[in-house]
Amino acid sequence: MGILDDHLGNVLGEQGENVSPQQGAGLTQAILNLLNDPRVGGIEGRPQSFQQGDLGDIFRSWISTGKNLPVSAEQILQALAHGQVEQLSQKAGLSASQGPSVLAQLLPLFIDRLTPDGTVPQQNQLADAGMKLLTQLLA
């Protein structure tokens, strides 16, 4: 079982549900799309949306080389547009109530893995980094 399966299993397992490979792949793609969204400036623009929710320090901890600060499902809903969370949940085959909890577990992991040396990859390199991350998480 890969890292992604473990994290999904932890979140969804609490709700008594199994994780399908389609959910894992759909969720991964949806998170990468969220981080690559040009409307907010990609991953480089995400700290601003978290800063507006007074969560900038949390987001920056995921990029830095130090310990990742935790985030709650409620804080995810505070930082991201509700429509984005709903859309991500649908793409991943999750219920609307599962989406924020899953994002709270996986978003720090994804961002931390996409920025291993504490720097954000160039926008044109994010897709390659995302594919490499997907391979690592599913292995």
- Where are the domains positioned within the chain? 3-138
Q: Which of 108, 89, 109 is CA-nearest to residue 99?
A: 89
Report the SS3 class of residue 93: coil
Q: How many helices (H) and strands (E) does the chain have?
A: 8, 0
Q: What is the pLDDT of residue 91?
A: 80
- Alpha carbon distance 139, 3 (integer Å): 8
> In angstroms, how far is the first alpha carbon of the chain from the final one?
7
The pLDDT tens digits for 97-120 are: 888 888 888 889 888 888 888 887
Q: What is the mean predicted confidence (pLDDT) over 86-105?
A: 84
| Both tokens assigned to 114 | 């996409």
Maximal CA-CA distance, the chain: 39
Q: What is the pLDDT of residue 132?
A: 73
Determine the topology of domain 3-138 in CATH: Arc Repressor Mutant, subunit A (1.10.10)
Q: What is the mean predicted confidence (pLDDT) over 92-100?
A: 82
For the four alpha carbons of 66, 69, 70 and 76, in that order, the dihedral sign comes to negative
| Both tokens assigned to 92 | 């991943």
Q: What is the mean predicted confidence (pLDDT) over 6-23?
A: 59
CA-based R_g, the chain, Å: 14
The pLDDT tens digits for 27-83 are: 777 887 777 776 666 666 666 667 666 788 898 899 889 999 999 999 988 888 778
